[in-house]
Amino acid sequence: MPPRFSTVLFDLDGTVVDTVALIRESHRHAVRTVLGVEMSDEELTANVGRPLIDQMRAFSEEHAEALLVEQRAWNHAHTAELIAGYPGMDGLLGRLHEAGCRVGIVTSKSRPTVQLAFDALPDIARHLDDVVGLEDSATHKPGPEPVQVALANLGATPEDACYVGDAPFDIAAGNAAGVTTIGVTWGFFDQAALDTEHPDLVAHDIPALEAMLLGAGE
């Protein structure tokens, strides 16, 4: 069976790599150190998926730069220890590639931070045809531009592409770019949060996502 989409774009954090603990604890360190406050897990991760500086501005407009410096330093120092793969994701990416799909990442992360994740999880990077990061577009999720840049890089049209992500910002970006949007619930956000942006499909585990992309088990 041919793949349903010739181009499959993925968000990175909370979708392809499990950075939930890493990002939450990096944010906790930054707000504790710079602002002297404790926040709930939900407050800490409410804006994950948007560029890091925007997440820090949401904590404190005035201290956003200092928060960014603290967050980055702690995050980079703890990436190897706290990042994890999602079991089955490496296999799915490989089977997409074998089926002839072009596979790309569209993330709000900066390129050096993306590279840290790939260094920690080298099996992920070998399946990718393109990576769009923070530096590759003027505007960012929830706007459509990062997805549009990936489509252009891969010679794809919105009609034969999908964007898979764990955040409402991913779904908004994909919908604005005109691609099929698939929300996943194993990352930072639950289905109720994803539903606010009306994804075309929602997958609760990797086999269900594979069935949507490749028809496996259908």
Catalytic positions are: 11
d(C-alpha 105, C-alpha 129), whole Å: 8
Amino acid at site 163: Y
Residue 167 or 173: which CB sits closer to Mg ion?
167
d(C-alpha 63, C-alpha 30), whole Å: 10
Tokens 């949007």 label which residue? 181
Q: Which residue is nearest to Mg ion (CB)?
A: 14
Closest approach of Cβ 218 to Mg ion, in Å? 26
Q: Half-sphere exposure of 195 toward its Cβ, with a 13 Å CA cutoff?
A: 3
Residue 49 or 146: which CB sits closer to Mg ion?
49
- List residues near Mg ion by CB under 5 A: 11, 13-14, 49, 166-167
Closest approach of Cβ 143 to Mg ion, in Å? 16
Collapse the DSSP code of 197 into the 3-class scheme (helix H, G, I; strand E, B; otherwise coil) and give the result.
coil
Cα angle: 143, vertex 132, 126; to 5 degrees: 145
Residue 34 or 131: which CB sits closer to Mg ion?
131
